A and B are shown apart, each in its own frame.
Chain A
Amino acid sequence: MDVIIQAIINGVMSGSYYGLAALGLTLVFGVIKVINFAHGSLLMVGMFTAYWIVMLTGWNPYAALFLVVPMLFIFGYALQGIVIKPILEAQREVREPVEVIIVTTGVWYILDNLALMSFGAEYRVVQTSMSGQIFMLGDYIFPKAQTYGLITTIVTSGLLLWFLKYTRMGKSIRAASLDRDAASLMGINQYRVYNIAFGIGAAIAGIVGCVLIPFYYVFPSVGVVFDVKCFIIVVLGGLGSIPGALIGGLIIGLIESIFAQYMASTWTELIVYVVFLAVLFIRPAGLFGEKRDW
């Protein structure tokens, strides 16, 4: 029984950073209605930025947040404005321009391989004050870095929900995701909304980077590890749904850690896919998705 409870704790921990990683993806999808295939690469950029800041300054990764988040926001904002906006403008009448998928995949290839060219293929780790540290609560182990990650996930999603609900920009984002034409008629500059949504998505990837570096390897193709997982999480939770992404992340994390008690970890991966396809067959909109999106 203890083993199971510990597995649940571990599952919640990893599920929380999966959910955080998927948050940016689901936000961007909710607004632009297109899957951002460069999302994993944005995570990679976030991790490398966090890695270098921590390495060069020796700061705590959570102090690095104050540098990483604005940097990634600007990066995402510029990326959307320069690369994706022209396609969205050209394909204005199409609801889900597939061209964007190809373009973001191009961005993925470029970013991953630029990282490979600049930093090499080796796996990097950074030693921080919290690496390898644990909290004990009764007999159960709470790794310190992951616990901070869980708290960060809760705080970040709370802030994001507040931002979307109560700020002017947040309301514009929601309006544009409901109906972009009507939002434009109401005087919302839809391309600026997209830029900001994309920037926020990238900034969240930066937060994930800071959360992950105390206990995760950094390497140029690290994004691919998260890519497919994030896609599954957002579809499971419902594309465009923020609570869906968090709960989808938890489900994947729990499946992985609980089933790992009974079988080889290569099989747990398969179970994730089976659960995913089963959910899709039974409830295609995902757990929290809206019918109009599928």
Chain B
Amino acid sequence: MNASSKRKTIDTILKIVLAGIVFTLPLWMTSPTYLQILILLFFYAYLTTCWNLVGGFAGVLPLGHSAYVGIGAYTSTVLFMTYGLSPWLGMFVGGILAAIVGLIIGIPTLKLRGAYFALSTMAFGEGVRVLVENTMKLGPFEINGPRGISVPLKMGTPLENLINYQFVDKLPYYYIILILLCIAIFVTWYVSRIRPGYYIIAGGEEPEAAQALGINVARYKEMFMALSCFLTAFAGTFYAQLNLYFFPKGILSLDFSFELAFIALIGGRGTIAGPVIGALLLRPVGEFSRIYLSAVLPGLHLVIYGLILILVMLFQPRGLVEPLTRFYNWILDKLSGERKEVKA
């Protein structure tokens, strides 16, 4: 066996071990606090992966993705409350609705340059928040304005719980978000390997050059926008079912949209692993510094957060995925290289 195939085997083994660890993590990490942090970590990784479809590949900076999370959460929840529709189905209704809204916003704005797109999506996100805060009732649906919605608790047999997307334990939520994340990563991987994926990456980097080659850049950007919004809405339903309560200032806030952009840029924008790496690094820093430092000096954790953003952008502007990939390759080289020496 030569070194390169050896390297490939080790690569596969390492990846399988890593996946095994991730899937069995709750078995040894039984503390509910850590489980909650892990769930939120994957939640953000999932959302950022969805964001990355537009923000990463299409080369624009959407700052209003909270709107689509909100559409997902509100749609599935009001359908559940009014008609008793299972949130699993409501999730798809919310996804389709979010994709349509995303297209309506995307068609005029995706033609604009970066700054205009970023600011108009931001204004759109804020507009949706204000709209929801001012709406008490929409037709037969209770929106409750700024007070938000509590998802009615309906506990029953395990099967009913599964249909109602409500679980006593946090464990099922861990696996749901993990599976969602795997789906989103697979979708990203898949679309970056088909024609529209190439088109959009080309369009994101050099719009003029891509257009000159006859690519309808705007149309592919719209496609990716719709896909991203569709998947983003799923996270809204997940958030609603996980917390069983949500309100506009939380789920539709600007901070939320910003956080996704930060995670993506820190991790590595436009890469498949970037969003996950970004969430893996940024979320625990945010959570732990908030838990331990806000009692000492309120605001300190956000100063640290801001410093991390600046330092990473100054020294690793392509995101942390680059040095980490190099590190991983170095490990592979070491492992496969050592084996070779033993053989010789």
Contacts and interface: CB of A to CB of B under 8 A. Distances in A.
Interface stretch (B116-124, B160-168, B188-196, B327-335): B116-124
Contacts of A67: none
A21 to B, nearest CB: 15
B114 A98 contact: yes
A255 interface: no
A181 interface: no
B262 interface: yes
Contacts of A107: 306, 310
Interface stretch (B25-33, B104-112, B147-155): B104-112
22 contacts: A35-B115, A99-B317, A101-B118, A102-B261, A105-B262, A106-B307, A106-B310, A107-B310, A109-B303, A110-B306, A114-B299, A117-B303, A228-B254, A234-B119, A273-B126, A273-B127, A274-B127, A277-B123, A277-B127, A284-B116, A293-B113, A294-B115
Interface string B242-275: 0000000000001000100110010001000000
**Shortest 5 CB-CB contacts between residues of A and residues of B:** A273-B127, A109-B306, A113-B299, A106-B309, A116-B299
Nearest to A264: B134
A235 interface: yes
B115 A239 contact: yes
A225 B269 CA distance: 29
A117 B301 CA distance: 11
Given A29-B115, A235-B123, A270-B131, 4 more contacts: A98-B61, A231-B123, A234-B119, A284-B108
Contacts of B302: 109-110, 112-113
Interface stretch (A56-64, A86-94, A210-218): A86-94
A55 to B, nearest CB: 22
B62 to A, nearest CB: 11
A121 B302 CA distance: 15
Contacts of A280: 108-109, 112, 116, 120
B298 interface: yes
A235 B122 CA distance: 12
A155 to B, nearest CB: 28
A293 B232 CA distance: 30
B299 A117 contact: yes
Contact of A284 (B112, B133, B265): B112
A232 interface: yes
A106 B313 contact: yes
Contacts of B314: 83, 86-87, 103
Given A235-B119, A270-B134, A102 B298 contact: no
Contact of A277 (B111, B124, B130, B308): B124
Nearest to B300: A117
A281 interface: yes
Contact of A96 (B115, B124, B127, B297): B115
Question: Which size class do A's interface residues fall under?
Answer: 35 or more
Contacts of A35: 115, 118-119
B123 A273 contact: yes
Interface of A: 29, 33-35, 83, 86-87, 90-91, 96, 98-99, 101-103, 105-110, 112-114, 116-117, 121, 220, 228, 231-232, 234-235, 239, 264, 266-267, 269-270, 273-274, 276-277, 280-281, 284, 293-294
A113 B306 contact: yes
Nearest to B60: A98
Interface in B307-342: 307-310, 313-314, 317
Contacts of A110: 302-303, 306-307, 310
B265 A113 contact: no
Contacts of B113: 96, 293-294
B260 to A, nearest CB: 12
B126 A114 contact: no
A265 B113 CA distance: 32
Nearest to A285: B116
Contacts of A116: 298-299
B134 A266 contact: yes
Contacts of B310: 83, 103, 106-107, 110
A37 B262 CA distance: 13
A6 B122 CA distance: 32
A234 B122 CA distance: 14
Contact of B313 (A99, A264, A276): A99
A231 B108 CA distance: 18
Contacts of A29: 115
